[in-house]
Chain A
Amino acid sequence: MMAFSEDDIALAAEYALGTLDADERAEAEAKMSIDKDFAAMVEAWQHKLGVLNQMVGSVEPRPEVWNKIKSAISLSEAQAALVLPETPRPVASEALEPPAVADTSNVVRLSAQARRWRNVATFATAIAAALIAVIAVGVYQPDLLPGAIRPKPRTQVVEVKTPSAPTPRSAQYVAVLQKEGGSPAFILTVDAATRNFTVRKVGAAAEPGKSFELWLISDKLPRPRSLGVIGNGDFTARPVLASYDSDVINNATYAVTVEQAGGSADGVPHSAPVFTGKLIETVPPAAPAR
């Protein structure tokens, strides 16, 4: 994170507070669009101050408002349909019924988790993508890396080896599931041909009495599907993805939640996703074995 001038800091803070005039707001927005660090600072302020909204009373808008939103959205939907003729079929409305967590202790626990999780600065998506690329090349084709970033013994993420497939021929997908502080917590590798997946644990350990559980979230599925509890060992390999088609696997979001020891008993997640990531194709099917 680069250092900002006091003027920049004040601009970000006052943008979030809302006291800038129209011209200054435009200036701040222009700055946000070209300077990621500045945008992140504004976002941090918005988040810090946003908790004040907890004290604002709720007021119901009139029902017409929803109708207008719905029609505005179906307009933009129609445009999207031109680009993607096969829009996913709608999900049944009861499908996303949230888990019935009503007792207070649970709610407190959840919000505490959510807080911990959102306090954390994570990588920007671009950085994550770059990281995945480095990991992928490092895993499968270390010789391709320029000397300066070739795996060194101390960069453990680059030394990830899939136990079973040293020279993969089918397409390989990798998702970095990010952890607090921005470094990866789990690296998920999926072999497109066998649909076996391997989760490599990179440092994170579940609290005593808790388990990490991996979930697949897809618009093709009515609710998050458990891919099982992540074991305590360095690697957890499972064939459970075999029952999903490749479109689902490739486009899903993978999320890790904290569940009771042994995993969610009722098949629904009970915490906010602590680590999430999406698959990125890293080794095309035709890649020559090295």
Chain B
Amino acid sequence: MLTPAELVWLIAAVAKGDEAAFERLYAATRAKLFGVVLRILRRQDLAEEVIQETYVKIWNGAGQFNPGLSSPITWMASIARNRAIDVVRKRGELSIEEEPAAMEVAADSPDPLARREMSEELKRLLECVGRLEPDRQKLVLLAYYNGWSREQLAAKFETPVNTVKTWLRRSMMDIRECLGL
């Protein structure tokens, strides 16, 4: 993995139409972005489509990357993740029951990182998430990592959708306050 600084230089070059830089950027980031969207889409073919669209968007939009607002990888992953979520929402939800194999992946927790491998920002966010009630911690993380809708979350937690809605909102407000956003 390249350092954030190196990725910034690559994106700057991509913004100027440098194809070699784009190839290097792809090589350095594709597996991470694919991992992110595959978790959400749980289907290789859909995930590949989203990755294609994502990198075309990165190629065309590299000039809009604002290093003051985001890190390169977060910016790229946001593009990929937003696209993946749009796809699952528009498909009218991939039913969990339809895809038992997917359910297993979804139930996994993401790779645990040794604490020293975590960035300060991740530690801080996890600290704030950790202050939520245990059920709500899980709710937020499942929503983020698996891209689950409120309906899917409601099914998982065996609770009405409206309750999930309230929990999500309350949780995000608590995180916001904790982060000082």
Contact = CB atoms under 8 A, between A and B. Distances in A.
Interface of A: 6, 9-10, 13-14, 16-22, 25, 40, 43-62, 64-66, 68-69, 72-73, 76-77, 80, 87-88, 90-93, 95-96, 98-99, 101, 107, 110-115, 117-118, 120-122, 178, 217-219, 224, 253, 257, 269-273, 276
A88 B71 contact: no
B52 interface: yes
A61 B30 contact: yes
A40 B69 contact: yes
A43 B70 contact: yes
Interface centre among A10, A51, A76, A115 (most CB of B within 10 A): A51
A53 B32 CA distance: 8
B44 to A, nearest CB: 8
Given A13-B176, A51-B121, A110-B5, A19 B148 contact: yes
B170 to A, nearest CB: 9
Contacts of B5: 110, 113-114, 257, 269-273
Contacts of B81: 18, 53
A17 B172 contact: yes
B96 interface: no
Contacts of A69: 26, 51-52, 55-56, 59
Interface string B39-78: 1100000011001100110011000001111110110011
B18 A90 contact: yes
Contacts of B125: 48-49, 51-52
A46 B6 CA distance: 21
Contacts of A59: 31, 34-35, 38
B153 interface: yes
B133 interface: no
Query: Which label, helix, strand, loop or mixed, suits the secondary structure of the A interface?
Result: helix
Nearest to B6: A98
A14 B3 CA distance: 29
Contacts of A92: 20
Interface centre among A66, A112, A269 (most CB of B within 10 A): A66
Contacts of A178: 68
Contacts of B122: 51-52, 54-55
17 contacts: A9-B173, A10-B172, A13-B173, A14-B168, A17-B140, A19-B143, A40-B69, A48-B179, A50-B70, A50-B78, A51-B119, A59-B35, A65-B51, A65-B52, A114-B5, A115-B120, A217-B12
Contact of A118 (B10, B12, B71): B71
Contacts of B110: 52, 55-57
Given A51-B122, A54-B119, A111-B3, A17 B26 contact: no
Q: Which 7 A-B pairs have the closest CB atoms?
A: A122-B68, A219-B16, A50-B74, A58-B31, A114-B4, A13-B172, A272-B5
Given A110-B4, A253-B12, A53 B36 contact: yes
A90 B20 contact: yes
A18 B144 contact: yes
A56 B13 contact: no
Contacts of A52: 110, 122, 125, 141, 144-145
A252 to B, nearest CB: 10
B160 interface: no
B68 to A, nearest CB: 3
Contact of A96 (B20, B56, B71, B119): B20
Given A59-B31, A269-B5, A76 B59 contact: yes
Interface string B1-24: 011111011101100111111111
Given A58-B32, A65-B30, A93-B20, A43 B69 contact: yes
B164 to A, nearest CB: 8
Given A59-B35, A178-B68, A269-B9, 5 more contacts: A6-B173, A19-B150, A62-B48, A110-B3, A115-B120
Interface in B87-109: 89-90
B171 to A, nearest CB: 9
Nearest to B55: A69
Contact of B69 (A14, A77, A118, A269): A118
Contacts of B120: 112, 115
A121 B69 contact: yes
B146 to A, nearest CB: 9
Contacts of B141: 52
